[in-house]
Structure formats: structure tokens, C-alpha cells
């Protein structure tokens, strides 16, 4: 496997789109329940944990770019090949692929469960799976530029969801935030870690970097994407604490969706039904980008044609979406993805960075010696 790769100009994307890519891949089904998990750890100071997690993500992005800039034009697979050799890099790359596929499964089955609870209890998961996966397959087979285009379009079309949180915001009780600053530093850090499932997706930078056209301008839109994601999670966490309070928030599985149930209009009796339906446009970009990452990874490591890889991934997703239904299994998969994702996304870049520095210095010394 070559460490550095060459991408044709027609396959590259502008750095500008990294803002929408990062924001979209981090905003999925996880944000529906994130306030509950953060509150369990940090209580009324959960909003501070979100800020801490956001600052950590900025640091991670900085480290990722520092690693990637040490190479001419590479991705995570090239970096691992350079550091660990062919076989160990394949093992690590396969772990990446398994983690990404598990993340895909968790997004699909979680959304199916939400639809069944809020809209159609008797809806066949097979039918909903094939509807979602048809869009995903079409976009991924079109190539990275089509996938990014769909992500950009769906991001714009779902922005209006933020503005309809005004109703629960007016019903907040600020007494729910008292006493403030009571959580210990350890509780705040545990709360920050509880955001892991919602903030997964940063690893896409390790896959996309070779395809970025103007790399010198890539860091700013990426960091701004983190700002957008942090703002969204902070907003829904703050409103959820202020509206629900402690006990009720801990008992709510999807507190963010419940907030939308408060919105009523004369011609729309249940506004939350529209929100759940519209949320498909939130999760589809997630699934498109992750499916592309998996198919690209399989092509890079095992020379498997990307089209065949896409069909294989979608078929396995379809099976998982139809068979996995009980809440215990769904939560087990989500917890697994969050735990593994924490090490891959939040810890692994800090392991790679010193290894890359050492490797480059060794190569430089060898060159000077020669």
C-alpha cells in the first residue's frame, strides 16, 4: 500500500465543504438523547461538560492536521503503513472499518426505533431500512463529490429545526440550574466523555484529507464545524436541563424530541411527527459519509472495488436494520460504539502524533547520515 496517494482534480472537494461535512456527520440520532447522559454524570452543570468536550475536539482537530501535514498527501491507512508496516496497519485499519460499520448500524436501528415509537408502531423495519439505504446507496455510488453535495443540501434543508426550539426555551425554569458549579472536576470530565456518541465523526478528516483541494485553508472550516456542533449540543442540553429538571430528564429516553412535542399550531396537531420525519434528512448524510469511508477503506486496504464494497455494506446494514429490534440490544450497540469511538477519535490521534514525529526524525537522520 502506498503511503502517499494522488487524487485527480475532478475527484477533489473544496475545503469550504468541511464545515458542512463535520457538522453533519456529528449531528445524528445521538443528539436526541445526549442531554440525558451528560446530566447523569454532571447534573445541572452538564452544560459545562459540553464546553469542555468542544474544547477537546478543537485540540484533536489541531493534532490531526499536525499529523497529516507531516506527509505529502496521505490518509489514516498510509500513516499506519508508514508507522507500523503492512500487516499491523491492515489489522488497525480493519478495526477502523468494524467500528465504522457498528456506528452505521447504531444510527439506522436507533432511528427506526424512534419512528416506531413516535409515528408508526407497526411499521416494518425492513421497509424503512430499504427506503433509507436506497438513498445512501445512490449517493455513495455517485462518488465523494455527490456524497458531499447531498450532505451540503440536507444541512441547509434542516437548519430550520433549530429555530423551533423557541417554545420550550420560553418555558425553562432557571431554578433547575441551581446550585451552579457544584459538580467536581471528575464529574465534569465524565460528563464530557458522555458526549462521545454525539461527537463521533472527527475521524473522517483522516479519510478525506487526500481529497481536499486547497489544504492550506482546510483547518478553519473544520474548526468552525466543531463550533457549530458544540453550539447545537450545548443548546439542546441547556434547554433540556431548564425545561425538564433532574428526575424527569433522567427518565426521558429522547428528551430533544419531547421538546418538539410542545410546539402546536392550529393546523398541525402533532409537530413532533414532522420533526421525526425530517430527522431522516439529518441521519442520511451521516450514513452516506460513513458508508463512503468504509468502502474507501476496503478499497485502499484490500483492493476491493468500491462499488462492490458499497453493495456489501448496504446488504449487511439491511439485515441488521430488519433483525435488531429490542431496546437492550440497540443500547448495547450504541454503548459499544461510544466506548470504542472514544479511544479511536479522542485518544488515538495523541498516540499517533509522537510516533509520526519520531518516525520523521529517524528518516531525516538516516538521510543526513547517508
What integer pLDDT is reported at residue 369 of this predicted model?
60
**CATH code for the domain in which residue 266 is found:** 1.20.1740.10
What is the share, in percent, of the chain residues with pLDDT greater than 70?
98
**Mean pLDDT confidence for 122-143:** 92
Whether residue 17 lies inside any domain: the answer is: yes
- How many helices (H) and strands (E) the chain has is answered by 20, 0
The residue whose grid cell reads 436541563 is 241
Distance CA 316, CA 31 (A): 25
Distance CA 194, CA 214 (A): 34
Distance set, CA 245 to CA 49, 157, 164, 183, 251 (Å): 17, 31, 20, 16, 11
Whether residue 367 lies inside any domain: the answer is: no
Residue 81 scores a pLDDT above 80 = yes
Count of the separate structural domains present in the chain: 1
Distance set, CA 91 to CA 156, 293, 348 (Å): 38, 16, 15
Whether residue 172 lies inside any domain: the answer is: yes
**Mean pLDDT confidence for 205-212:** 93
How many beta carbons lie within 10 A of that of residue 226, not counting itself? 23
Whether residue 153 lies inside any domain: the answer is: yes
Whether residue 155 lies inside any domain: the answer is: yes
Whether residue 170 lies inside any domain: the answer is: yes
- pTM score of the predicted model: 0.93
What range defines the domain where residue 305 resides? Answer: 9-344
Whether residue 352 lies inside any domain: the answer is: no
Residue 135 scores a pLDDT above 60 = yes
Residue 370 scores a pLDDT above 70 = no
* pLDDT averaged over every residue in the chain: 90
Whether residue 140 lies inside any domain: the answer is: yes
Q: Grid coordinates in use for 241?
A: 436541563
Q: Is the separation of the CB atoms in 106 and 36 below 8 Å?
A: no
Amino acid at each position: 500500500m502506498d503511503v502517499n496517494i494522488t487524487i485527480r482534480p475532478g475527484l477533489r472537494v473544496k475545503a469550504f465543504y468541511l464545515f458542512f461535512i463535520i457538522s453533519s456527520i456529528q449531528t445524528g440520532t445521538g443528539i436526541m438523547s445526549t442531554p440525558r447522559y451528560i446530566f447523569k454524570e454532571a447534573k445541572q452543570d452538564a452544560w459545562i461538560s459540553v464546553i469542555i468536550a468542544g474544547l477537546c475536539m478543537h485540540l484533536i482537530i489541531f493534532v490531526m492536521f499536525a499529523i497529516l501535514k507531516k506527509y505529502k498527501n496521505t490518509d489514516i491507512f498510509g500513516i499506519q503503513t508508514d508507522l507500523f508496516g503492512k500487516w499491523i496497519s491492515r489489522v488497525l485499519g480493519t478495526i477502523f472499518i468494524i467500528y465504522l460499520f457498528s456506528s452505521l448500524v447504531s444510527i439506522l436501528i436507533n432511528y427506526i426505533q424512534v419512528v416506531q415509537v413516535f409515528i408508526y408502531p407497526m411499521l416494518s423495519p425492513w421497509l424503512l431500512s430499504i427506503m433509507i439505504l436506497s438513498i445512501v446507496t445512490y449517493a455513495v455510488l455517485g462518488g465523494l463529490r455527490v456524497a458531499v453535495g447531498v450532505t451540503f443540501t440536507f444541512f441547509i434543508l434542516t437548519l430550520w429545526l433549530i429555530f423551533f426550539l423557541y417554545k420550550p426555551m420560553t418555558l425553562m425554569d432557571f431554578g433547575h440550574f441551581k446550585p451552579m458549579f457544584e459538580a467536581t472536576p471528575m464529574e465534569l470530565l465524565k460528563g464530557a466523555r458522555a458526549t462521545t456518541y454525539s461527537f463521533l465523526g472527527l475521524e473522517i478528516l483522516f479519510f478525506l484529507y487526500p481529497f481536499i483541494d486547497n489544504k492550506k485553508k482546510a483547518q478553519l472550516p473544520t474548526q468552525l464545524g466543531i463550533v457549530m456542533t458544540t453550539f447545537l449540543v450545548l443548546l439542546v442540553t441547556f434547554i433540556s436541563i431548564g425545561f425538564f429538571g433532574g428526575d424527569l430528564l433522567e427518565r426521558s429516553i429522547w428528551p430533544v424530541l419531547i421538546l418538539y412535542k410542545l410546539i402546536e399550531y392550529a393546523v398541525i396537531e402533532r409537530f413532533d411527527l414532522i420533526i421525526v420525519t425530517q430527522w431522516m434528512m439529518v441521519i442520511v448524510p451521516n450514513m452516506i459519509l460513513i458508508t463512503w469511508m468504509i468502502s474507501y477503506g476496503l478499497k485502499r486496504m484490500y483492493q476491493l472495488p468500491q462499488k462492490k464494497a458499497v453493495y456489501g455494506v448496504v446488504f449487511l446494514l439491511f439485515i441488521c436494520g430488519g433483525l435488531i429490534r429490542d431496546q437492550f440490544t440497540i443500547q448495547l450497540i450504541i454503548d459499544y460504539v461510544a466506548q470504542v469511538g472514544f479511544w479511536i477519535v479522542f485518544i488515538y490521534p495523541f498516540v499517533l502524533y509522537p510516533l509520526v514525529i519520531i518516525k520523521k526524525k529517524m528518516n531525516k537522520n538516516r538521510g543526513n547520515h547517508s
